[in-house]
Structure 1
Amino acid sequence: MSTDTSSRVKQSFLAGSLTSSAGVFLAKAIGLFYVIPFTALAGEKNMIFYSAPYTYYNVLLQISSAGLPYAIAAIVAKYVTRNDYKTVMLIRRLSTAILSVSGFLMSMIFILISKPLATAILGSQATGLDISQMRTCFMILAIALFLVPILYSYRGFYQGMKELRVYADSQVLEQIARVAALLGLGYVTVKILRFNSIWAVYMAILATSIGALCAILFYSRFDRRHIGAIARTARAQETPAVRKNDILKELFAFGLPYLFAAILGNSQTLINTNFFVPTMTKLGMQYETATLIYGIIEVQCDKLTSIPQVLGAGFSVGIVPYMTTALETRNMKDLRRYVRECLDTVLYIGVPICFCLCVLSRPIYCVMYGNANLEYGAQALSYAALLAIVTTITPVCSSMMMTLHLRKESIFYLLIGFIVKCVTFYPAMRLIGYPGAIISSVLCSCTIIYLCLGKIKNRYGAAYGQTLIRLFKMILGCMAMNGVFALIELAGFTFNTVSRIVCLGQLALVGIAGMIVYISVTAAMKVPQAVFHKSMKQLLTGGFRRR
């Protein structure tokens, strides 16, 4: 491969992954800011009715999709590399049919098991009304279980075609539609029709289906303009498509490990959902306080920590077609480069964001959610920031393992992580209180990352020496940033946690100053130049362009 071609490949991979990350970021940013008015409509006491159903929804969604979105992307990329477009079209038809049927069946199952799930989540101290309201939330969410797998069939196909821009656009549109419906319908039902505040939660859950439907319509319009060229190429192809049974075997051979990985990957949240409230009440906390803190961790803190986590989501999506192509063409040099670039980029952007979430947790939580329950929120966010960085890296590692045909090992490592979570959950909570639930998740993710990266190194010769050196330099940049925060505090500056508007202005100034220091210090050590393969002048003026 020539130097120019190699450079184009690097930029294409980074640009594609960052484009995907940007789409997820915009979607998450939109989702982040709806929490403030939504909490005002629904009330903090009702947040558990909003957050808890999504834990089981995510698991059942993964089961209904059987890991096929990633399988579709990888297998489509494989046959596009071989110029076998008849097989590409066959994959499209089969995957759409499978996901539509499985989504419908899973939504019916979700409705049938809604009552026992509601009872299990809320525990023995819950009232009949609480259980009824939780069950209603499950039943409304069942609609999304049918629609979202259909959306996944589109996303998986065009991800495999390396159309990552439309992937990102669909996520932004989905979130805009969802938030508009969430706030609009919530306001109408609670403020105009004067229904109980739980109706804001019902409308918020219904908005998930509305957002998915809008994204499906967006993809349908895009599909009508682009599928024709692929279909014509397939018709002109002289060689036959791969047999249907062989494609089905390949889809499930690739997809089922993703399914098990996804279920185990959600194990941290599953354990928190089922055991957080019972454990804290057993340790002496009031039921109402335990449900309040659970809602803070799973909704408010989760929305904030999802900011750095978009990198993990974006690169998990972006790396599949490129790494599949490198593996298919036996280009081990590019494959190892993709592993290194994934880790370097995610760390360079994610580490300072998580650091700021930790050391500035109090003003950040105040700006987003006010000073009600500020002590609980600030402490939970400072711990959750540590979890954010490891859960940003974990999905990237799992995605690489799956794409590199290390599926059995990946599932086994996730199972080990699940065991670590189970073993450390109660002791950690008994030792340090409710933050112990977060610390046990950190230990789980660290275990998975260590095992996955070790396996990739042993099998494909990936080297992490330069990544560790750059990570050390990033930490030095964060220490310099913290030095700025300390100097500002020594100068007598304090955050105003009474006025959220004033606090926002103060936070913006301090945050910008800190990030300038981080970028300057790391640039002096040539970190961003090495990560993004550009000079600082190019990074500041040109950004990333697809060549």
Structure 2
Amino acid sequence: MSSLMKGTAILTVGMFLSKVLGLVYIFPFYAIIGQKNVALYSYAYVPYTIMLSVAISGAPIAVSKFVAKYNSLGDYESGRKLVKSGLMIMTLTGFLSFLALFLLADPIAHLVIKDEEQVFTVSQIAGVIRWVSFALIVVPFMSLVRGFFQGYDHMEPTAISQLVEQIVRIIVLLTGSYLVMRVFDGKAQTAVSFAVFSAFIGAVAGLIALWYYWRKLKPEFDLKLQYSVSSGQLSYKSIYREVITYSIPYVFVGIANPLFQLVDMLTFNTAMTNIGLAKVSDDYLGMLNFTTQKIVIIPVMLATGFSMALVPTITNYYTKNQHSALINAMDKTYQVLLFITLPAVIGISLLSTDIYHLLYSESAMGSSVLAFYAPVAILFAFFQVTAALLQGIDYQKWIVFSLLTGILVKLAINIPLIETFETKGAIIATAIGYLISITINMLVLKKALNYKSRLVIRRSILIMALTVIMAAFVIVAHKVLVILFGVAHTKMLALMYLVVCISIAVAVYAFLSFRIGLAQKLLGEKITKIVGKFGL
């Protein structure tokens, strides 16, 4: 058990650090290329992310699940059989995905560009899409190897390779774009093309890290293979049927947000052109799909990372038919999610002007989009958790249905809402699409488990009340700061306002939640002991 917990901790920390690095680099990159060029970067990364998810097809988790299953039976040969054939298949899949995205670059660009008044041309967008497509050759191959290591309970190779991949990518991205823009006085398109190509270079570095671990651990794998027992001759057809069954739900959960972004990417410029705003369309789409989205996703990462630790428990209780324990675990998952996410997104909305200024630049439009977009993060988090719960009780097919329904609704209402409310219309459409997907997921959970909980409703109302009190303190504190020092027109002043307001928000929310015992009930006994030392 201790080795299991250690491995899980290593993988979790590695993934968390990798995601944090994937957010932090955005801010210096923005400073290098400027607001008007971030849309060009996002035009490349949205289709790349979707194509990558399809190419990988949930390989790391699916392969690790398959290998772990047959290893537990002493059948080490089946896992090796999968990885040998899988490496060839993933190489082919990666190359075909690269070829597809490379060849589709022009059609995608034509779908995006709707007016000559837009900032970017078809050739510019097609160019950056082609440059990012090269990473698809390497990443699927790498993902399968990571899954194989995880199946043997070796989490360190995955964690380290992810970090190496991300660090190398960011170094190349920032150095390259800086040299192009500031040293050689080059074009923004060249800097963005180099930035997206860094995904390929980072992937190669991650693959080298995995090769190091493969050489190190291969004697152990070979030794176990010598003592392998047969669990029945598995055909390639049966092997891949099982792996695909594992992988499909993970694919859809992984591409949920990119699919919603893709709808915006393909329809936003059309709607903005229809109402005569083609000149600012690229700029606003960059704010929607890139700058504000990167901030909004932060509380989602924190909340789901914490609450998803409870999901394996769900699977265990469901398998053992322990219904009451299962319901209690679900209750706690929902409560923890709301407890962490709600105050975070409300805080981001209230302090959006200073946050956007500090991380990017002083922009009334950018801060307005961020303030309106932040609360939608709650829906992002709830979709991920309800989808994970459905996976835990083997209702995976409903994840596909709910997500596709939400996407279709978003697609149907996106243009009319953008024409009516401009950028906020796209956010409203996203919120409606996610609400429909979450509602379907929760209805399926309710029917499958006869789930209903007044406790969650009562606690949710309590969390909302605490958040309102916290928000009142933040509003008052910010107004006092503005009266004393004026509007924050410098990054240093914006930082000071954020430090003061966030400190007050955390202190108020923590004090109230500890004082009434809510935090202790949701976060466990260790929190209770820590709080007791402070006399709360």
| TM-score, reference length from structure 2 | 0.88
For 2:439, which of 442, 450, 456 is the aligned residue?
Answer: 450
SS across alignment from 2:144: helix
Confirm whether residue 424 of structure 1 aligns to residue 413 of structure 2: yes
Is the deviation greater in 198-207 or in 422-431? 422-431
Shift of 1:540: 6.7
Shift of 1:379: 0.8
* Aligned position for 1:188: 179
Shift of 1:514: 0.6
Please list the CA deviations of residues 390-446 of structure 1 after superposition, one character each: whole Å capped at 9, or x if unmatched.
112212322332343212222111122123212332333233221110111111112
Shift of 1:94: 4.0
Compute the RMSD of aligned alpha carbons.
Answer: 3.3
Contact 2:405 2:437 in 1 (8 A): yes
SS across alignment from 2:394: coil
Please list the CA deviations of residues 267-290 of structure 1 after superposition, one character each: whole Å capped at 9, or x if unmatched.
3111100011110121222x2211
* Aligned position for 1:468: 457
Contact 2:268 2:418 in 1 (8 A): no
Please list the CA deviations of residues 440-489 of structure 1 after superposition, one character each: whole Å capped at 9, or x if unmatched.
11111122122212312322455544333333332222122112113324
Confirm whether residue 433 of structure 1 aligns to residue 422 of structure 2: yes
Shift of 1:218: 2.6
Aligned residues: 530
Sort the Cα spacing of 1:484 and 1:265 in 2 relative to 1 into closer, same or farther, 3 A.
closer
Sort the Cα spacing of 1:500 and 1:492 in 2 relative to 1 into closer, same or farther, 3 A.
closer
- Cα distance in 2 between the residues matched to 1:319 and 1:81: 23
Please list the CA deviations of residues 316-355 of structure 1 after superposition, one character each: whole Å capped at 9, or x if unmatched.
9867766656666666666556544443433332222212
- Cα distance in 2 between the residues matched to 1:158 and 1:337: 33
Sort the Cα spacing of 1:117 and 1:414 in 2 relative to 1 into closer, same or farther, 3 A.
same
Contact 1:316 1:399 in 2 (8 A): no
For 1:269, which of 261, 266, 272 is the aligned residue?
Answer: 261
Sort the Cα spacing of 1:221 and 1:511 in 2 relative to 1 into closer, same or farther, 3 A.
same
Contact 1:361 1:379 in 2 (8 A): yes
For 2:386, which of 394, 397, 412 is the aligned residue?
Answer: 397
* Aligned position for 1:545: none
* Aligned position for 2:20: 29
Sort the Cα spacing of 1:172 and 1:344 in 2 relative to 1 into closer, same or farther, 3 A.
farther
- Cα distance in 2 between the residues matched to 1:389 and 1:30: 22
* Aligned position for 2:294: 303
- Unaligned runs of 5+ residues in structure 1 are 543-547
Sort the Cα spacing of 1:378 and 1:238 in 2 relative to 1 into closer, same or farther, 3 A.
same
Between 1 and 2, higher relative CO (CA 8 Å, sep ≥ 6) is seen in 1
Sort the Cα spacing of 1:341 and 1:486 in 2 relative to 1 into closer, same or farther, 3 A.
same
Confirm whether residue 383 of structure 1 aligns to residue 375 of structure 2: no
SS across alignment from 1:195: coil
Sort the Cα spacing of 1:491 and 1:127 in 2 relative to 1 into closer, same or farther, 3 A.
closer
- Cα distance in 1 between the residues matched to 2:135 and 2:101: 11
Sort the Cα spacing of 1:338 and 1:220 in 2 relative to 1 into closer, same or farther, 3 A.
farther
Please list the CA deviations of residues 68-94 of structure 1 after superposition, one character each: whole Å capped at 9, or x if unmatched.
333224434544555544434434334
* Aligned position for 2:274: 282
* Aligned position for 2:42: 51
Contact 2:18 2:162 in 1 (8 A): yes
Contact 1:49 1:134 in 2 (8 A): yes
Contact 2:345 2:375 in 1 (8 A): yes
Shift of 1:204: 1.1
Please list the CA deviations of residues 178-210 of structure 1 after superposition, one character each: whole Å capped at 9, or x if unmatched.
211111111222222332122221121011122
Is the deviation greater in 222-231 or in 177-186? 222-231
AA paired with 1:481?
Answer: M
Sort the Cα spacing of 1:110 and 1:78 in 2 relative to 1 into closer, same or farther, 3 A.
same
* Aligned position for 1:136: 127
AA paired with 1:394?
Answer: F
Confirm whether residue 255 of structure 1 aligns to residue 244 of structure 2: no
Sort the Cα spacing of 1:306 and 1:53 in 2 relative to 1 into closer, same or farther, 3 A.
same
- Cα distance in 2 between the residues matched to 1:99 and 1:519: 48
- Cα distance in 2 between the residues matched to 1:129 and 1:491: 43
* Aligned position for 2:400: 411
AA paired with 2:269?
Answer: V
* Aligned position for 1:511: 502
For 2:339, which of 333, 338, 348 is the aligned residue?
Answer: 348
Sort the Cα spacing of 1:326 and 1:206 in 2 relative to 1 into closer, same or farther, 3 A.
farther
Sort the Cα spacing of 1:238 and 1:159 in 2 relative to 1 into closer, same or farther, 3 A.
closer
Is the deviation greater in 452-461 or in 193-202? 452-461
Contact 1:85 1:237 in 2 (8 A): yes
Contact 2:158 2:210 in 1 (8 A): no
- Unaligned runs of 5+ residues in structure 2 are none
Is the deviation greater in 329-338 or in 45-54? 329-338
Shift of 1:103: 0.9
Sort the Cα spacing of 1:55 and 1:319 in 2 relative to 1 into closer, same or farther, 3 A.
farther
Aligned pairs for 1:115-134 (under 5 A) are 115-125=106-116, 130-134=121-125
For 1:87, which of 54, 75, 78 is the aligned residue?
Answer: 78
- Cα distance in 1 between the residues matched to 2:274 and 2:105: 25
AA paired with 2:147?
Answer: G
- Cα distance in 2 between the residues matched to 1:527 and 1:228: 51
SS across alignment from 1:266: helix
Is the deviation greater in 293-302 or in 83-92? 83-92
Shift of 1:124: 4.0
Sort the Cα spacing of 1:236 and 1:184 in 2 relative to 1 into closer, same or farther, 3 A.
same
- Cα distance in 2 between the residues matched to 1:541 and 1:95: 53
Contact 1:30 1:176 in 2 (8 A): yes
* Aligned position for 2:93: 102
Contact 1:315 1:396 in 2 (8 A): no
Is the deviation greater in 481-490 or in 166-175? 166-175
Contact 1:421 1:443 in 2 (8 A): yes
Please list the CA deviations of residues 79-121 of structure 1 after superposition, one character each: whole Å capped at 9, or x if unmatched.
4555544434434334433322201111011111211111211
- Cα distance in 2 between the residues matched to 1:257 and 1:516: 40
* Aligned position for 2:238: 246
| TM-score, reference length from structure 1 | 0.86
Contact 2:76 2:224 in 1 (8 A): yes
